[in-house]
């Protein structure tokens, strides 16, 4: 019988396997993208690059909090952060991202690349209004936000509970006094609050929420194409934002991080488009123009974030 050679109590072949695993290049990623979709992106990047991705996925606030907490504790473990633009702008303010001068930036719409170049947005979130086609008559759909104050919409409208950036931008577009007056009246008309865009979209499909005020356009569109009883409209002004990918200022694997960064803005972006996402390529600019979008300004939102979060929560909960 063949005897295993050992070093101490560990067989040599196990040490060899361990050394091979240790030698494989690794990049650490924190992302708030939907679990199923970010796993697809990661798998494709690993297949093409031979680089292993250590992925930690959570909600946007938890991703932001983890990066901040680790940096304040002197732990620099993350290489790439993928989160909505306002949360990434907060990391820029804390000097926790590095400037990137990728040639991929020239291929994106201007709103996807801030002047400091510390993040770039591969996707565009278009905030639309989704409705259940079995519950809501298409002929009776609102044409303006003000139409939602009619008695027939009482208790039939829901909003996602963490959309203070959307709220801030829309209120400013309406005029602050007029915008806040509208939202107070909407809350008094029985506005429902739900947590999570995907959940809110599913509640519309189920008919539990007849009309959702804030969902990302790709979510109801995916469900509609799959045959679900859902469709969407885009009330004006239509608010939009980008997500963002950036590299940590003290990334432990900066060269590998740049490979993933460039992938997210090229082949990864093409894969996102196949998933039904609206991507930020300049070739999409003409399609985006039909919405006459008002983009969220991440720097403006972050500047007074706590105050507007409180105004948002007090207003939608009708406190």
pLDDT per residue as tens digits for the range 75-98: 999 999 999 999 999 999 999 999
Q: Per-residue pLDDT averaged across 49-71, rounded? A: 96
Task: Look at the block and give the residue holding tokens 């939102």.
Answer: 301
Cα separation of 172 and 123, whole Å? Answer: 24
Asked if the model's pLDDT at residue 4 lies above 50, the reply is: no
How far, in whole angstroms, is CA 90 from its chain's centroid? 15
Mean pLDDT along residues 95-110: 95
Residue 260 has pLDDT above 80, yes or no: yes
Name 232's bridge partners. 130
Residue 19: per-residue pLDDT: 45
Q: What is the pLDDT of residue 24?
A: 76
The pLDDT assigned to 158 comes to 97
Interval 52-58 mean pLDDT? 97
Residue 294's SS3 state is strand
Q: What six digits make up the tokens of 10?
A: 């560990």
- Check whether 293 has a pLDDT greater than 50: yes
More confident residue, 174 or 305: 174
Place of tokens 């697809």: 40
φ/ψ of 54, rounded to 5, equals -90, 105
Task: Pick the more confident residue, 305 or 128.
Answer: 128
Q: Is the pLDDT of residue 187 over 50?
A: yes
pLDDT per position as a tens digit, 236-253: 999 999 999 999 999 999
Share of the chain above pLDDT 70, in %: 92
What is the sign, positive or negative, of the torsion defined by CA atoms of 79, 85, 87, 90?
Answer: positive
What's the maximum distance between 2 C-alpha atoms anywhere in the chain? 86
Lowest mean pLDDT among 58-62, 65-69, 210-214, 253-257: 58-62
Strand, helix or coil for residue 290: coil
pLDDT of residue 23: 62
Q: Return d(Cα 169, Cα 297) in angstroms, integer.
A: 8
What tokens does 93 get? 């303010």
| Confidence at 284, pLDDT banded by 50, 70, 90 | confident
List Cα–Cα distances, 242 to 236, 284, 298, in angstroms.
Answer: 18, 13, 9
Calculate the average pLDDT of the chain: 91
Q: Check: CB of residue 288 under 8 Å from CB of residue 124.
A: yes
Q: How confident is the model at residue 319 (pLDDT cuts 50, 70, 90)?
A: low
Residue 28 near residue 79 (C-beta atoms within 8 A): yes
């Amino acid at each position: 019988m063949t005897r295993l050679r050992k070093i101490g109590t560990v067989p040599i072949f196990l040490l060899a396997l361990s050394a091979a695993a240790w030698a494989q290049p690794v990049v650490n990623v924190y992302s708030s993208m939907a679990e199923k979709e970010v796993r697809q992106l990661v798998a494709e990047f690993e297949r093409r690059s031979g680089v292993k991705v250590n992925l930690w996925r959570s909600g946007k606030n938890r991703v932001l909090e983890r990066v901040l907490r680790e940096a304040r504790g002197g732990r620099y473990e993350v290489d790439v952060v993928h989160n909505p633009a306002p949360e990434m702008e907060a990391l820029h303010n804390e000097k926790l991202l590095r400037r990137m001068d990728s040639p991929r930036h020239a291929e994106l719409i201007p709103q996807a690349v801030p002047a400091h170049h510390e993040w770039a947005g591969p996707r565009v979130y278009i905030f639309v209004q989704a409705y259940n086609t079995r519950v809501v008559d298409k002929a009776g759909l609102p044409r303006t936000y003000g139409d939602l104050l009619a008695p027939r919409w009482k208790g039939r409208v829901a909003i996602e509970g963490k959309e203070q950036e959307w709220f801030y931008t829309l209120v400013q577009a309406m005029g602050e006094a007029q915008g806040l007056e509208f939202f107070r009246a909407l809350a008094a008309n029985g506005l429902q609050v739900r947590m999570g865009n995907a959940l809110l979209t599913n509640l519309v499909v189920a008919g539990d929420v007849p009309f959702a005020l804030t969902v990302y356009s790709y979510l109801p569109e995916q469900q509609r194409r799959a045959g679900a009883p859902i469709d969407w409209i885009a009330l004006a002004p239509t608010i939009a934002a980008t997500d963002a990918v950036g590299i940590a200022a003290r990334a432990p694997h900066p060269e590998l991080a740049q490979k993933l960064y460039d992938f997210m803005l090229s082949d990864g972006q093409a894969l996102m488009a196949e998933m039904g996402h609206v991507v930020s390529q300049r070739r999409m600019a003409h399609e985006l123009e039909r919405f006459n979008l008002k983009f969220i300004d991440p720097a403006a939102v972050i500047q007074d974030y706590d105050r507007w979060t409180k105004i948002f929560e007090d207003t939608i909960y009708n406190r």
